[in-house]
Amino acid sequence: MTSIAQIQPQRARGGTRRHINWTPYLFIIVPLIVYFVWIIGPTLYTFYLSLTNWDGVSPNPSFVGLRNFERLFTDRTFHEALTNNLRWLVVFITIPTTGGLGMALVFNQEMRGGRWYKVSFYSPLVLSLSVIGLIWAWVYNPSLGLINSFLRGVGVADPPGWLGDRDLAIWCIIAAAVWRQVGYVMILYLAGLKNIDPTLTEAAIVDGASRWQLFRHVVLPLLAPVTTIVLVISMIDSLRAFDLVSIMTRGSQRTQVLANFMYIEAFNNYQMGYGAAIAVVLFSISMIFIGFYLWRVIKTELEY
């Protein structure tokens, strides 16, 4: 015979309902709302505007379909801006990457004044791009700039105009960007080198590996995840270049890049639909590199 004391716990267990804790969801919902309002919403609206001829003022934009994109791919200024972004991209994935890796290998060793050198090379990164643009504009000044003053001091009678030269201007701006980027890459590689197990390098040295063999067959493969991050960041930074061009030349002297071209068309020429089309193209190119990075990250996670 079942006692009442045995039945009551069974009823209690059968009658209990699972309590849902809504507190974590309340913390998440506010950032999600902000993200959709400030990121997803404007992005979708930009895609819509790229299909219109809105001037940024009139209340009713007209739908024009793909006309903005047809005009875009026949626009010589767009070709110039895309070419400059590709130049920026090629330089960014070569010079800062190799330079930053080289400095990281040097500064990863115990050396006198090593911390000071690290800080000095990293310090440009703490400056805003606007400040860097102003500094380098003064350096390139044809009359009183540091470079031309030095060249005149060593006997060069007619030094270049730098930012005033249509063939040199874009490379001068890219050089200023590299000056800032190389310290950032150095820090990323230093972090990667600190995570390498020293027993691996010691074993390679015991086996008689030279410095080049140690770097080629041990260090470099172990830095592959960091290299992927460096390359993707460099690609994205080269595509969203804007501040230095705007500050140093305002896009003149054939220094136009996609972001600056988009800004001028949208806010200076009041062709918001055309500017949105440029933004869509820039977004699409950026997503290629972001997708590659996510694919590598997911692939690495699945392997482990």
Helix (H) / strand (E) containing 247: helix 243-248
Q: How does pLDDT run across 71-112, given as a tens digit for each residue?
A: 998 999 999 999 999 999 999 999 999 999 999 999 888 888
Give the CATH architecture of domain 75-270. Orthogonal Bundle (1.10)
Q: How far, in Å, CA of 132 to CA of 180, rounded?
A: 8
**pLDDT exceeds 50 at position 1:** no
Q: How far, in Å, CA of 142 to CA of 164, rounded?
A: 8
When pLDDT is averaged across residues 278-282 and rounded to a whole number, the result is 94
Q: Tokens at residue 216, please?
A: 């080629």
- Model-level pTM? 0.84
Which residues have a Cβ under 8 Å from the Cβ of 63 and sit 6 or more positions away?
51, 52
Q: Where in the chain is the domain with CATH 1.10.3720.10?
A: 75-270
**pLDDT exceeds 80 at position 262:** yes
**pLDDT exceeds 60 at position 250:** yes
Q: What is the per-residue pLDDT for 25?
A: 82
**pLDDT exceeds 60 at position 12:** no
Share of the chain above pLDDT 70, in %: 94
Q: Is 268 exposed, middle or buried (0-12, 13-18, 19+ CB in 10 A)?
A: exposed
Q: How confident is the model at residue 59 (pLDDT cuts 50, 70, 90)?
A: confident
Q: Which residue has the tokens 């200023």?
A: 176
When pLDDT is averaged across residues 167-183 and rounded to a whole number, the result is 93
**pLDDT exceeds 60 at position 194:** yes
Q: How far, in Å, CA of 81 to CA of 84, rounded?
A: 5
Q: How does pLDDT run across 202-247, given as a tens digit for each residue?
A: 888 888 888 888 888 889 989 988 998 898 888 888 988 899 999 9
